[in-house]
């Protein structure tokens, strides 16, 4: 069966940056399962996997525009420390969910100087070209429930709690 819209696909993958550093990998764990065409993966990778089948291996290079977007300087903001009421000590690396025009966004604290905090709303991989080494391990049709929920259930997929 070929990967098509609404297929449930299981893949093993290793993600590296252009410097050859491994950023993420499914090696040593269950394959990642996702629902094709539902935004579960970055667009560039979904596009490359269309038409592939179990056993296929591919190496793909994905530009920032088809991954996590270009780095956007306007997403870096300085916020007064008093905005973080009830947080305790605000430290570099902390992440917060904030409302934005495009829906909730995760921001990361990058600097704390005096009573000003610098936060960055870019995805950690924004502006980076991503290199995927992928092996398709399984392709199946999605169940009605998976289609309704927009994600995979069961091993390697989403679990409802």
**Tokens for 27?**
């090696």
DSSP state, residue 158: B
Domain-located, residue 39: yes
> Residue 142 and residue 6: Cα distance in Å, rounded?
6
Domain-located, residue 98: yes
> Residue 70 and residue 110: Cα distance in Å, rounded?
18
Structural domain boundaries, residue 44: 7-68+126-149
**Tokens for 104?**
């909730």
Number of folded domains that form the chain: 2
Helices marked H in 1-154 — which ranges?
43-49, 144-149
Bridge partners (DSSP) of residue 97 are 106
> Residue 91 and residue 137: Cα distance in Å, rounded?
41
21 and 55 assigned to the same domain: yes
77 and 91 assigned to the same domain: yes
103 and 134 assigned to the same domain: no
Residue-wise pLDDT tens for the chain (161 aa)? 999 999 999 999 999 999 999 999 999 999 999 999 999 999 999 999 999 999 999 999 999 999 999 999 999 999 999 999 888 899 999 999 988 887 888 999 999 999 999 999 999 999 999 999 999 999 999 999 999 999 998 766 655 54
56 and 132 assigned to the same domain: yes
Identify the pLDDT of residue 158.
Answer: 59
CATH number, domain at 107?
2.40.10.330
Domain-located, residue 131: yes
Strands ordered across the beta sheet of 95-98: 76-80, 116-120, 105-113, 95-98
Domain-located, residue 159: no
Q: Is the pTM of this model over 0.85?
A: no
Residues 130 and 67 sit within 8 Å (Cβ to Cβ): yes
61 and 139 assigned to the same domain: yes
Identify the pLDDT of residue 15.
Answer: 97
Identify the pLDDT of residue 161.
Answer: 46
**Tokens for 17?**
């940056």
Within a 13 Å sphere around the CA of 51, how many CA atoms are in the beta-carbon half? 3
């Amino acid at each position: 069966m070929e990967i098509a819209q609404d297929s449930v696909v299981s893949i093993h993958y290793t993600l590296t940056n252009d410097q050859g550093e491994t950023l993420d990998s499914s090696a040593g764990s269950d394959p990642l399962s996702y629902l094709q065409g539902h935004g579960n993966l970055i667009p560039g990778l979904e596009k490359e996997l269309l038409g592939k089948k179990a056993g296929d291996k591919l190496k793909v290079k994905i530009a920032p525009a088809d991954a996590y977007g270009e780095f956007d300087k306007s997403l870096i903001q300085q916020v007064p420390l008093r905005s973080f009421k009830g947080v305790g000590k605000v430290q570099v690396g902390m992440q917060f969910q904030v409302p934005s025009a495009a829906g909730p966004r995760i921001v990361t604290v990058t600097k704390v100087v005096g009573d000003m905090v610098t936060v960055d709303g870019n995805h950690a991989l924004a502006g980076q070209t991503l290199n995927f080494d992928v092996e398709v391990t399984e392709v199946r049709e999605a169940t009605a429930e998976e289609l309704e929920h927009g994600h995979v259930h069961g091993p390697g997929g989403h679990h409802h709690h």
